[in-house]
């Protein structure tokens, strides 16, 4: 069974309820029907009957709960919830009433209220517009201040540097130049994702162009001390975690190089979770693995939220939406 099939099977056994916010998108409507038919999760689709019929007349939405913020009796209660969450930021009751009718905000409020277990959007909205409602009202998990993302990288075949056949790369999509504190959060939450979604025992490498002080840093960027500080902070926050650094990629995955450059490290040479120093390195790195290495990338998987929210790519397929819903169901408590 492929990892993706395993994720879908595990999601199915959990029977979670996931909201899909974009009933105006044909792929989302098709995915809602497919997920329901395959019993991967229960779906709440934000949209209305006549709109869905017009966009996807052939799709049978039996078993999908449709909800329209413009007519729902839940909207007034959600507006109050939004007002309570955002009045400290200057939001008025009138603004909350208006914003609660927005489909992505309505979905995030459903999640906050506990009426669904997870949120998936982004087929026709930008990353910022998809994640902002979650950042504003769902907020971060206890002990975590940073929402980040990772890719689950599935190898075309197992090899000596990746005996699990799967790895986690973070953060490749959200935090552009994370601080040491944010990198530590990314490390801790990526380890959690590795366990929950990839099904592996995490061994976290904090990546750099330097291994244990070998590289001379530039006086302006100061990347090496940043990663070194992140290692300290992450170890303090999660002492039980197998985590180390700073490592070059070869020291992280090749046992001989790891032992040469970081003797005694339990993670060096055996890492399966890779935390990149910034989004440039992470985004370029995952695409190299994908295009040159033939890895399949599942994600970006968002992590660090108090409850699971995930962002689709605007180029996503129906299958991508189905997979993202399954991942979201596995992240739900």
Ligand X SMILES: CC(C)(COP(=O)(O)OP(=O)(O)OC[C@H]1O[C@@H](n2cnc3c(N)ncnc32)[C@H](O)[C@@H]1OP(=O)(O)O)[C@@H](O)C(=O)NCCC(=O)NCCS
Q: Count residues contacting ligand X (CB under 6 A)? A: 15
Q: Taking the complex as a whole, how short is the minimal distance between the CB of residue 85 and ligand X, in angstroms? A: 9
Among 36, 48, 72, 175, binds ligand X (CB under 6 A): 175
Choose one: 35-43, 135-143, 152-160, 284-292; the region binding ligand X (CB under 6 A). Answer: 135-143
| In the complex, least distance from residue 142 CB atom to ligand X, rounded to whole angstroms | 13
Distance in Å, CB of 136 to ligand X, minimum: 5
State the nearest-atom distance from the C-beta of 50 to ligand X, in Å: 32
User: Does 121 contact ligand X by CB under 6 A?
Assistant: no
Residue 135 vs 296, nearer CB to ligand X: 135
136 near ligand X (CB under 6 A) = yes
- Burial degree of 73 (CB within 10 A; 0-12, 13-18, 19+): exposed
Which residue stretch of 31-39, 133-141, 236-244, 289-297 sits at the interface with ligand X (rule: CB under 6 A)?
133-141
As a whole number of angstroms, the distance between CA 32 and CA 21 comes to: 11
CA dihedral 277, 281, 285, 291 (to 10 degrees): 160
In the complex with ligand X, the residue whose CB is nearer, 135 or 196, is: 135
Q: Does 275 bind ligand X (CB under 6 A)?
A: no
Question: Using H for helix, E for strand and C for coil, what is the string for the chain?
Answer: CCHHHHHHHHHHHHCCEEEECCCCCHHHHHHHHHHHHCCCCEEEEECCHHHHHHHCCCCCCCCCEEECCCCCCCHHHHHHHHHHHHHHHCCCHHHHHHHCCCHHHHHHHHHHHCCCCEEEECCCCCHHHHHHHHHHHHCECCCCCCCEEEEEEECCCCECCECCCEEEEECCCCCCCCCHHHHHHHHHHHHHHHHHHHCCCCEEEEECCCCCCCCCCCCCCCHHHHHHHHHHHHHHHCCCCEEEEEECHHHHHCHHHHHHHCCCCCCCCCCCEEECCCHHHHHHHHHHHHHCCCCEEEEEEEECECCCEEECCCCCCHHHHHHHHHHHHHHCC
Select the span of 35-43, 57-65, 128-136, 248-256 touching ligand X (CB under 6 A): 128-136
Asked if 13 touches ligand X (CB under 6 A), the answer is: no
Q: Does 141 participate in binding ligand X (rule CB under 6 A)?
A: no
Smallest separation, CB 139 to ligand X (Å) = 7
Query: Least distance from C-beta 174 to ligand X, angstroms?
Result: 5
Among 131, 252, 318, 325, binds ligand X (CB under 6 A): 131
Among 70, 89, 142, 216, binds ligand X (CB under 6 A): 89
Residue nearest to ligand X (CB): 135
Q: Is 174 in the site for ligand X (CB under 6 A)?
A: yes
Q: Which of 124, 135, 196, 296 binds ligand X (CB under 6 A)?
A: 135
When binding is defined by CB under 6 A, the residue of 36, 72, 99, 146 that contacts ligand X is 146
- Residues within the interface to ligand X (CB under 6 A): 89, 127-128, 131-132, 135-136, 140, 146-147, 173-176, 283
């Amino acid at each position: 069974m492929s990892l993706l099939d395993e994720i879908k099977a595990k999601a199915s056994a959990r029977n979670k309820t996931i909201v899909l916010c974009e009933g105006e998108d044909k792929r989302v409507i098709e995915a809602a029907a497919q997920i329901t038919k395959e019993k991967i999760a229960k779906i709440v689709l934000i949209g209305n009957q006549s709109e869905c019929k017009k966009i996807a007349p052939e799709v049978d939405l039996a078993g999908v709960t449709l909800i329209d913020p413009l007519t729902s009796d839940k909207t007034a209660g959600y507006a109050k919830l939004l007002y309570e969450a955002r009045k400290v930021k200057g939001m008025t009751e009138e603004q909350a009433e208006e914003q609660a009718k927005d489909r992505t905000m309505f979905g995030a409020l459903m999640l906050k209220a506990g009426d669904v277990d997870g949120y998936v959007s982004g087929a026709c909205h930008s990353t910022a517009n998809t994640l902002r409602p979650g950042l504003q009202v769902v907020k971060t998990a206890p002990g975590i201040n940073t929402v980040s993302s990772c890719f689950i990288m599935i190898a075309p075949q197992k090899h000596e540097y990746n005996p699990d056949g799967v790895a986690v790369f973070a953060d490749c999509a959200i935090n552009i130049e994370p601080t040491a504190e944010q990198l530590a959060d990314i490390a801790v939450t990526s380890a959690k994702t590795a366990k929950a979604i990839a099904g592996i025992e995490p061994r976290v490498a904090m990546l750099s162009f330097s291994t244990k002080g070998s590289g001379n840093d530039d006086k302006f960027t100061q990347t090496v001390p940043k990663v070194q500080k992140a290692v300290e902070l992450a170890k303090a926050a999660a002492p039980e975690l197998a985590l180390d650094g700073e490592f070059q990629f070869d020291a992280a995955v090749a046992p001989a190089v790891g032992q040469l450059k970081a003797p005694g490290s339990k993670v060096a040479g055996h890492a399966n979770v890779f935390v990149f120093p910034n989004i440039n390195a992470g985004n370029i790195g995952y695409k190299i693995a994908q295009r040159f290495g033939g890895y399949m990338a599942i994600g970006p998987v968002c992590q660090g939220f108090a409850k699971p929210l995930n962002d689709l790519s605007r180029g996503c397929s129906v299958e991508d939406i189905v997979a993202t819903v399954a991942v979201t169901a596995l992240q739900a408590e």
